[in-house]
Structure 1
């Protein structure tokens, strides 16, 4: 999600749900012409950048790397957490070269404050206009949690393309049954119909269409639900 079967889904390039039970250091890796979002769900995650700066990320922490120029970094389980589990979500998006070059940066923020959407649905802005981390691509990421059984329509705005990923629990997206670890892709959908049981948690990420995005079809598209190839446990 995006998967090989679904084909290219720019600017979304890779998506991973990582659970680490031990610290494995593979060294710094690079990002170039990419924007990368990391959202910590459980445990503590250790971040090291190319300048040798070390930061501990905790549940609710957001790491947003905008790499117009090369950035090197590494994410591992925090050493003091050995014997426990850490979980984080990662999304890699391609930065288009034909747009005005964004500033290369590394942002480490907390997710936004929880906002009641209904009496049984709470949304937490992770990246975007209502969050503390800003994306060069206009990426909007939100974490939805259902405290009780509910059916709701999440506004997206036409001309957007995105991914939906189930963090925990069971529910339905556009009437299709989903459970933890499953995801779907969508575009040009004004609202996303979601039904969730108590404890259902859904992560949404979407970007607006630009005038130069010829790859975007004009019609609506919803494709799911399935387990993404990037799941790592």
Structure 2
């Protein structure tokens, strides 16, 4: 197998979103910091309620998917379809905005630790105007595999091979064939897995640090992987917790204005007009 090298490191940048939630943004901090089909990755992490209590009041989306993965804490999702979902520690919400959704994500705690991630995945042109929908996936529905050298791999989407067995996550069948794995590696251990050459991929180190091949992957940074058909991740002396993400590139033009992601400026203008007219979700 050909090991993928570490091609680029995108350090997390402090910012805020929603009504003032403090975030660390790696992918998506600029148009040059995307990795088709991934548009953005945010990490939120604070035990100070002032950093998260205002949450994400009602706001629109069109043309992509959002994946919210909660490590610690409790958020309530509500949308214009009448859906209500509680996102608790270890759970995932996979939302497809499609032609339009208006939703909110509000903390259900006034103190304590809130930590997690939100990932934006682009939709192909043929799916941007499909009906909106979402799926709540509680922690108990997400398989966690014990790795040969110790540590675990929690498979949210796609599948990986662990000691000759295929471990498949609950999310399958996407056009982007997304892979989403949460790795927890003890100090100085190695995780290696096949990663098809037609996927773009990156690793986000959120606790500790490590190496991709022989290249350093620092804490709070996304390491974009180069060409190859497998990846080798080595934990640092303090261990490593990291997200491994991969997906088939769409190779389509991207026109983005805030929460709207389309293929052309005309489509963006139409999305804005639909939102102003109240027809975004029709």
Both structures adopt the same fold (TM-score exceeding 0.5):
yes
Note closer, same or farther for the CA distance 1:26–1:41 as it changes in structure 2 (3 Å cut). Answer: closer
Whether 1:144 and 2:183 are equivalent positions in the alignment is yes
Whether 1:85 and 2:113 are equivalent positions in the alignment is yes
Structure showing greater Rg: 2
Whether 1:174 and 2:202 are equivalent positions in the alignment is no
Deviates more, 1:6-15 or 1:152-161: 6-15
Which of 204, 209, 215 is the equivalent residue of 2:244? 204
| Aligned structure 1 segments of 4 or more residues deviating by more than 6 angstroms | none
Cα distance, 1:62 vs structure 2: 0.7
Which of 97, 102, 122 is the equivalent residue of 1:72? 102
Note closer, same or farther for the CA distance 1:72–1:179 as it changes in structure 2 (3 Å cut). Answer: same
Note closer, same or farther for the CA distance 1:48–1:101 as it changes in structure 2 (3 Å cut). Answer: closer
Paired position in structure 2 for 1:14: 40
After superposition, the C-alpha distances for 1:142-194 in whole angstroms (9 at most, x for unaligned) are: 01111343123232111100221012112112322234311112253311221
Deviates more, 1:59-68 or 1:97-106: 97-106
- Stretches of structure 2 that go unaligned for 5 or more consecutive residues are 1-25, 160-167, 254-282
Deviates more, 1:109-118 or 1:153-162: 109-118
Cα distance, 1:98 vs structure 2: 4.0
Cα distance, 1:137 vs structure 2: 2.6
Matches of 1:5 and 1:24 in 2, distance apart? 27
- Stretches of structure 1 that go unaligned for 5 or more consecutive residues are 216-233
Aligned length: 211
Deviates more, 1:187-196 or 1:5-14: 5-14
Q: Would you say the 8 A contact 2:41–2:120 is kept in 1? A: yes
What SS is found at the alignment partner of 1:45? strand
What SS is found at the alignment partner of 2:35? coil
Cα distance, 1:136 vs structure 2: 4.4
Matches of 2:98 and 2:31 in 1, distance apart? 29
Q: Which has the higher helix share?
A: 2
